[in-house]
A and B are shown apart, each in its own frame.
Chain A
Amino acid sequence: MEEEDLKKRKKRSIAIGLMLVGFAILFYAITIIRLGGDVFNRPL
């Protein structure tokens, strides 16, 4: 693989990583907003 392709691959990997982090944050935020305070209201 040439250096140019390696650079492109690195950029793609970063983009995929950022998307996955964004997706995790999105899921977390949706859960908190949908469940509100009830998310903490459970027996331990």
Chain B
Amino acid sequence: MSDVSLKSMDDVYPQSAGGEVRDYFQLLKPRVMSLVVFTSFVGLMLAPGTLHPFLGFVAILAIAVGAGASGALNMWYDADIDGQMQRTAARPIPRGRVSKDEALALGVVLSCFSVLVLGLATNWLAAGLLALTIGFYLFVYTMWLKRRTPQNIVIGGAAGSFPPMIGWAAVTGSVSLESVVLFLIIFLWTPPHFWALALYRCRDYSRVGVPMLPVVKGPDSTRTHILVYSFILVAFSLAPVALGFGGVAYLIMSGLLGAGFLYLAYLVFVHRVGVEADGHAKRLFLFSIFYLFALYLVLLLEAMVPGMMVPTGFEFKV
């Protein structure tokens, strides 16, 4: 970046005298953090073996802080476009509450602390996965893919998929097939989730030149992509049943939730113009958050509530 562009950035977002504590907390993307906390907790509880409850708490805390740190680093790098997008204009840097340098410093410090604490409290495989997650989100998604390809959130979605795998690794010290399945459910969920958002925020992304799928390929192609990926997601969501860590309750819930997901994806596919089309895209976006939360919740309840886990009889015998 040239000096000229650096100067212009400072003009747009003047160096603040320092914001409120809550402004720095906003840098950590608390809503994203809450889903990360939940999915990593499920990974931790599903994993075979035991972990001291306090160390389990520390592991979740470290994963949450690591996710928050990557959020701060994302806001640091994307400050130039955040201010021009309706969805992100109220973030602390565009509003001039926190300077870019402060966001960078916070992100780097919290990244180092979270990885260190997770390594000391559990094991260095889990810590390594957390470091990989932060690095992937910053370098691969934010810096490399986001502004270059419509596949940005397909590949970049891996960063948001790691938390249950980290939780699993914190207990077992290993990465097993079950944790890969937990990873893949979120990985396959990410594209239809974000493309639904991009459909009704298309103008935002177009204005700042982020090549989201609706901007590059158009809304119709995006609708087809959403429908196809939704089918793949719903089919793959049955994998826990096949591997035997999802029981009858999970089979029923994943079927019902999957039917709801496909129905909303179909409505998005069919309704293509006007406020109604935007409404369907928004409904799919919101439902997809509930879908992921509910799927993981059933897995968690089956693992924790005695007698709730009833095998389906559909497990593959290895």
Interface membership of chain B positions 104-125, coded 1 if the CB is closer than 8 angstroms to chain A and 0 otherwise: 0000000001000100110000
Q: Please determine whether A11 and B21 come into contact, CB atoms closer than 8 angstroms.
A: yes
| Interchain Cβ contacts within 8 Å, total number | 34
**Which among A8, A29, A30 is the interface contact of B19 at CB below 8 angstroms?**
A8
Decide yes or no whether B55 CB sits under 8 A from chain A.
yes
Q: Are B20 and A8 in contact (CB under 8 A)?
A: yes
In the complex, the answer to whether B55 meets A8 with C-beta atoms within 8 Å is no
Nearest residue, chain B, Cβ from A15: B21
B52 an interface residue at 8 Å Cβ cutoff?
A: yes
Give the residues from 6 to 42 in chain A that come closer than 8 angstroms, CB to CB, to chain B.
8-9, 11-12, 15, 23, 26-27, 29-30, 33-34
Q: B17 near A11 (CB under 8 angstroms)?
A: no
Instruction: Report whether B21 and A12 are in contact in the complex, using a CB–CB cutoff of 8 Å.
Output: yes
Chain A neighbourhood of B18, CB < 8 A: 5, 8-9, 12
Q: Count A-side interface residues using an 8 Å CB cutoff.
A: 14
Nearest CB of chain B from residue A1's CB, rounded to whole Å? 7
B58 within 8 A of A: yes
A11 engages B117 (CB within 8 Å) = no
| Partner of A30 from B21, B24, B113, B121 at Cβ < 8 Å | B121
B54 interface contact, C-beta 8 A? yes
Chain B hits for A30, CB < 8 A: 55, 58, 117, 120-121
Given contacts A12-B18, A30-B58, 7 further A-B contacts (CB under 8 A): A12-B24, A23-B113, A26-B58, A27-B120, A33-B54, A34-B120, A34-B121
Interfacial residues, chain A to chain B (CB-CB below 8 A): 1, 5, 8-9, 11-12, 15, 23, 26-27, 29-30, 33-34
* Interface, chain B (partner A; CB < 8 A): 17-21, 24, 52, 54-55, 58, 113, 117, 120-121
> Could you name 8 residue pairs across A and B whose Cβ atoms are closer than 8 Å?
A11-B21, A12-B18, A12-B21, A23-B113, A27-B120, A30-B55, A33-B55, A34-B55
